Amino acid sequence: MSRERLLNGALLLALIVIPGWALYADEPFTITLATRAVIFALAAVGLNIALGLGGLVSLGHAVFFGIGGYAMGILASHAQSYTPLIEWPFVIEGTKSMPVIWLVAIVASSAAALLIGLLSLRTSGVYFIMITLAFGQMMYFFAISWPAYGGEDGLSIYVRNGFPGLNTLVPIQFYGLCLALLCLVLAFNARLMRSPFGLALDAARQVPERVRAVGLDPRRLQLVALVISGAITGLAGALFADLNRFVSPTMLSWQMSGEIMVFVIIGGVARLFGPVAGAGIYVLLEHLLGGVSEYWQIFLGLVLLMVVLFGKGGVVGMIAGRRRDG
Amino acid sequence: MSPILLAEQVLNGLQSGVMLFLMAAGLTLIFGVMGLINLAHGSLYMIGAFAAAAVAGATGSFALALVAALAAAAAAGALIELLVIRRLYARDHLDQVLATFALILILSEGTRWLFGSFPLYLNMPAGLSGTVTLPGGIVYPVYRLALIAVGIAVALGLWWLNARTRLGIRIRAGENDREMIAALGVDISKLYTLVFAIGAALAGLAGALVGAIQSVQVGMGEPVLILAFVVIVIGGIGSIKGALIGALLVGLTDTLGGVLLPELFKLFTDPASAAATGSAFASMAIYVLMAGVLIWRPTGLFGART
């Protein structure tokens, strides 16, 4: 356990030192890359709650990521054009305020998670994988064919949304904001893993019969886990859209779902800092290999294949050893 | 809406349904026998289409192109089964999903590297490129009718293979009890490679046949793969009959939804926004169908009750 703690500390330190160095050396692009990694990590922390703790192999987490993104895009585009979102039965205006956008993103994505969960948790195993993938594709095609918010072209925002007391247009300030959210969510995740709910969920993944025998409903535990998971990934989606000042159906695509899962797997399933390590490695590979070859995803595929076939437990697992409860 | 237009759309739905069946049959066969979820099935579809386009471009013969598609997809299937897939049978579904996702990345980017990012075109055979007038005055492309015929022929062939041949007996025995059939002296790993190659060949055939009416490009397989998943969820995993019924349901719902829903919305709003809203909701129709089947029967129409 102590090796894992050391590794977690090192990762946290890297998240502070690397952008700090980039600020000192005046390399804003590195800060943007680090922001990307932190946001991906946040999305993957969300998935890790469903996948690692709950054992739910969701191949549709791009739905929540994309809903978060569109929450930002829709609210900000209405604020930008000074048109109300709806006028009846009461007027709702758009907004450029991040906390409001985050709240909307969280509420919308957890509502979607509840709905998808109610339907897909009627099944399990391979059906669950296919169904989450299918619902993801449904949202993707809906976003493409719904013309009001850009359709296939997506939606651009001229100015990044604001946060009280900060200038979010300065890369390091936006980075700090994202990092603070990641740390908050990681702290929440650590508490969740040790809470009665987290323990029951862990048990429901391993031996659902026993959980049922003590009077708990595994389905219900998994549904709550999926909602929490969707909410966190949705929050990450809102940040990602704000980072790019752009949201498009690509955020809802099945490739996005696959990538979020890759972050978790490369890092280490069910490990607190697994998603952080995975997202960091992914962004690093994307940057380094993307410069070498246009076809860098071949190498990503090979790395992923090796991790799955030979390296159980991802990077955190390889460095820190197996989880005690296995 | 005229009855002729509706009849044409029903034929279109049947055509896309039987092509989906070719994909879904392979997937469900592989899942039924080996218990494997194969995301890379869409890549095999793509490989079939590219092989067909390349051979048709070089020789000008559509028949040779189809042979090449079958051979290339079956060979690619057998190769990845030997190298990667057979290590996954004993693993959980998460590992299978990830490893086959990795295969998608490798195969898609590899194809892009070989053929470039621009779409290729595959011309349908000259003999089938015209239209034919059906009873009732429906003018319909011959090629699409031929696709429906091929789909029905494959469905019959699969039924024959499964019910009337020694290989079919082994496949069904493998689905039920793999230890027992191995104990009876059947080389189970050879059987698995063969089943995987058959599934791959079906996907490659579908890719080549559809490639002649759409463009052949990297990433063409995954949307079809996900539709095939919807088919399997509706029909029930492991059931070829379920795959056929599911594929026809999905093909018809998708095609008819795209035509009828905008018409329906025209009753409520102006034509322009009715077309937009209608097509947006039509894109969701098959998933609503899937959700309905899930509520009614969580294991699909013909799936084993758990």
Per-residue pLDDT at A182: 97
How far is A49 from A205, CA to CA, in rounded Å?
12
Chosen for mutation from B39, B82, B95, B233 (greatest number of chain A CBs closer than 10 Å) is B233
Nearest by CB to A254, from B84, B226, B230: name it: B226
pLDDT at A140 over 90: yes
A220-239 pLDDT, tens per residue?
Answer: 999 999 999 999 999 999 99
What percent of chain A shows pLDDT beyond 90?
A: 69
Q: Which residue ranges make up each domain of chain B?
A: 3-218
Chosen for mutation from B34, B96, B109, B239 (greatest number of chain A CBs closer than 10 Å) is B109
Q: A130 in contact with B at a CB cutoff of 8 Å?
A: yes
Nearest by CB to A142, from B98, B280, B294: name it: B280
Closest CA to A258 of A49, A47, A34, A38: A47
Q: How far from chain centre, in Å, is Cα B207?
A: 8
Tell me the average pLDDT across B159-164: 91
A78-94 pLDDT, tens per residue?
Answer: 998 888 888 777 788 88
Tell me the average pLDDT across B183-203: 93
Per-residue pLDDT at B109: 93
Q: Residue holding tokens 């011309």?
A: B123
pLDDT at B155 over 70: yes
What percent of chain B shows pLDDT beyond 90?
A: 59
Query: Which residues from A are below 8 Å from B114, CB to CB?
Result: none
Q: Find the residue in A nearest to B37 (Cα).
A: A126
Q: Give the up-direction half-sphere exposure of residue B115: CA atoms within 13 A in the CB hemisphere.
A: 24
Question: How far away is chain A from the Cα of B64, in angstroms, using its nearest Cα?
Answer: 30
Residue scoring higher pLDDT (A115 or B4):
A115
pLDDT at A322 over 70: no
pLDDT at B237 over 90: no
Binding-face residues of A in 138-197 toward B, CB within 8 A: 138, 141-142, 144-147
Structure tokens that stand for B190 in this block: 């050879």
Question: How far away is chain B from the Cα of A326, in angstroms, using its nearest Cα?
Answer: 14
Per-residue pLDDT at B246: 95
Torsion sign across C-alpha atoms A249, A255, A261, A266: negative
Residue scoring higher pLDDT (B267 or B20):
B20
Query: Which residues from B are below 8 Å from A265, CB to CB?
Result: 98
Per-residue pLDDT at B137: 81
Q: What's the 3-state SS for A194-255? A: HCHHHHHHHHHHHCHHHHHHCCCCHHHHHHHHHHHHHHHHHHHHHHHHHHHCEECHHHHCHH
B120-154 pLDDT, tens per residue?
Answer: 988 888 888 888 888 888 889 999 999 999 999 99
Q: Which of A70-74, B138-142, B160-164, B296-300 has the highest mean pLDDT?
A: A70-74
Nearest by CB to A57, from B31, B84, B97: name it: B97
Tell me the average pLDDT across B295-303: 86
Per-residue pLDDT at B202: 96
Residue B178: pLDDT band (50, 70, 90) is: confident
Q: Are B235 and B246 in contact (CB under 8 A)?
A: yes
Query: Which residues from A are below 8 Å from B280, CB to CB?
Result: 142, 145-147
What percent of chain B shows pLDDT beyond 70?
A: 99
Q: Do A301 and B283 touch (CB under 8 A)?
A: no
pTM higher than 0.80: yes
Tell me the average pLDDT across A284-289: 90
B66-91 pLDDT, tens per residue?
Answer: 999 999 999 999 999 999 999 999 89
Nearest by CB to B95, from A141, A297, A308: name it: A308
Q: Are A315 and A268 in contact (CB under 8 A)?
A: yes
Nearest by CB to A57, from B94, B102, B113: name it: B94
Per-residue pLDDT at A240: 97
Residue B305: pLDDT band (50, 70, 90) is: low
pLDDT at A135 over 80: yes
Tell me the average pLDDT across A119-139: 90
Q: What ipTM goes with this model?
A: 0.89
Query: Which residues from B are below 8 Å from A150, CB to CB?
Result: none
B13-38 pLDDT, tens per residue?
Answer: 999 999 999 999 999 999 988 889 99
A101-124 pLDDT, tens per residue?
Answer: 999 999 999 999 999 999 999 888
How far is A157 from A175, CA to CA, in rounded Å?
19
pLDDT at A325 over 50: no
Residue B133 phi/psi, 5-degree rounding, is -95, 120
Chosen for mutation from B94, B269, B294, B301 (greatest number of chain A CBs closer than 10 Å) is B94
Query: Which residues from A are below 8 Å from B295, CB to CB?
Result: 119, 122
Alpha-carbon distances, residue B97 vs A41, A308, B40, B69 (angstroms) = 21, 10, 9, 25
DSSP state at residue B206: H
Q: Which of helix, strand or coil describes residue B140?
A: strand
Identity (one letter) of the amino acid at B288?
V
How far is A22 from A33, CA to CA, in rounded Å?
11
A309-321 pLDDT, tens per residue?
Answer: 887 778 888 888 7
Closest CA to B229 of B283, B172, B286, B306: B286
Task: Encode A142-173: b = buried (16+ Cβ within 10 Å), e = exposed.
Answer: bbbbbbebbbeebbebeebbebeeeebeebee
Nearest by CB to B99, from A141, A269, A308: name it: A308
Question: How far away is chain B from the Cα of A7, in angstroms, using its nearest Cα?
Answer: 25
Per-residue pLDDT at A283: 94
Q: Do B98 and A301 touch (CB under 8 A)?
A: no
Per-residue pLDDT at B180: 87
